[in-house]
Amino acid sequence: MADLRALLGIEHPIVLGPFGGLSSIALTAAVSEAGGLGGYGLYGYDGDRIRSTIAALREATSRPFAVNIWLPTGDEVEPNAQHTVFAQTLQPFYDAVGIDVPARPERYLPPLDEQLDAIWEAAPPVLSVVFGVPSADVIDEAHRRDIRVVGTATTVAEAVALAEAGVDAVVATGLEAGGHRVSFLRPAEESLIGTFSLVPQVVDAVDVPVIAAGGVADRRGVGAAFALGASAVQVGTAFLATAESAATAAHRDAIRSTPADATVLTRAMSGRLARGARNRAVRAIEASGTIAPFPMQNWLTGRFRAAAGEQNLGGLQSLWMGQSAPLASYQTAAEAFGELLAGVPDER
């Protein structure tokens, strides 16, 4: 099996989880500059924005970094007449932040081909994917351009499918993790395996390096992941709470104050299952019983969530966080990285 550090060109086996909508150049660069692999989420980015983002990352760090895209699952809806119906059910939230009910857009998401064309042109060191297995053409083109490919699995079967497709490494993400459950072979509700159970089974099942994700927020979690056979850890919430992240002050405060049993798995904000704090918006949308399919729901709530972020209204944002949020007490990326590094066996 290849050594992950040599494979990705990094000094330390610590990976920053890519945040869709919450990534920042500063945080990604900080993790890469520290010797880990910074990650940046490109969810919803069109080709021009991808090119400019990767250019900005190259300006901020000369070290390897990863960019992340969501693969289509085939059940995404296009803008249609139901848009208005679902938008009107969310009117109280638009009113709360002082914006109009949004009209139907031409599209909710840019096409995958447009994103890939920009990625091939910009050639980032690492491409990570969620919600599926990249095609042979995608993997071949990435490797032709010297781009490493990392897939993401929530079950052993998903990890095997990714490894057989030719990815360079697999992220095994347990149910403790914050943000979206990126399952693709079975419904997310049927793919809820804890990190402690998932990682060693994935390690036994595939012949590529395994990156453990979910519930890792300090040196103890890192040590446990390596004891389970992982080659690296991917950490999200602990870095999301730091000053360099794009999270609002309300979001960072929520991470530090939300106990592990107060995070929930919900489809309220995006139409897909994701873990975060059960705030005012989540409670109200769940109680309404009306949730649009993905990506319509994500686009619709995104309009008031963006405004709520500008106004620092935590009750109307997507407060994504994992179950180890109470451990995320770090003020800076350097402080978080140092704590995690202390748990790597050969760095002690």
Alpha-helical (H) ranges within the chain are 4-8, 25-33, 47-60, 82-89, 91-97, 112-122, 136-144, 156-165, 195-205, 219-227, 237-240, 249-257, 280-288, 296-310, 333-341
| Interatomic CA distance for residues 102 and 303, integer angstroms | 7
Reported pTM: 0.97
| Interatomic CA distance for residues 302 and 297, integer angstroms | 8
Residue 45 and residue 22 in contact, taking contact as beta carbons nearer than 8 Å: no
pLDDT of the residue at 348: 47
| Interatomic CA distance for residues 334 and 40, integer angstroms | 17
pLDDT of the residue at 346: 81
* Average pLDDT of the segment spanning 149-164: 98
pLDDT tens, 4-27?
999 999 999 999 999 988 999 999
- CA distances to 142, 159, 228, 320 from 198, rounded to whole Å, are 28, 10, 9, 22
pLDDT of the residue at 90: 97
pLDDT tens, 259-302?
999 999 999 999 999 999 999 999 999 999 999 999 999 999 99
Residue 36 and residue 60 in contact, taking contact as beta carbons nearer than 8 Å: no
pLDDT of the residue at 84: 95
3-state helix, strand, coil in the chain (%, to 5): 45, 15, 40
- For residue 7, give the amino acid letter: L
pLDDT tens, 51-100?
999 999 999 999 999 999 999 999 999 999 999 999 999 999 999 999 99
Mean pLDDT taken over the chain = 97
- CA distances to 37, 232, 326, 341 from 5, rounded to whole Å, are 9, 9, 29, 14
pLDDT band at 48 (very low <50, low <70, confident <90, very high): very high
pLDDT tens, 309-322?
999 999 999 999 99
* Crossing angle of helices 333-341 and 25-33, rounded to 10°: 40
Residue 313 and residue 12 in contact, taking contact as beta carbons nearer than 8 Å: no
The β-bridge relationship of strands 210-213 and 232-235 is parallel
Dihedrals phi, psi of 270, to nearest 5 degrees: -130, -15
Q: Compute the C-alpha angle 292/131/249, nearest 5°.
A: 70
- Structural domains in the chain, sorted by start: 4-76+108-253+327-347 (3.20.20.70)
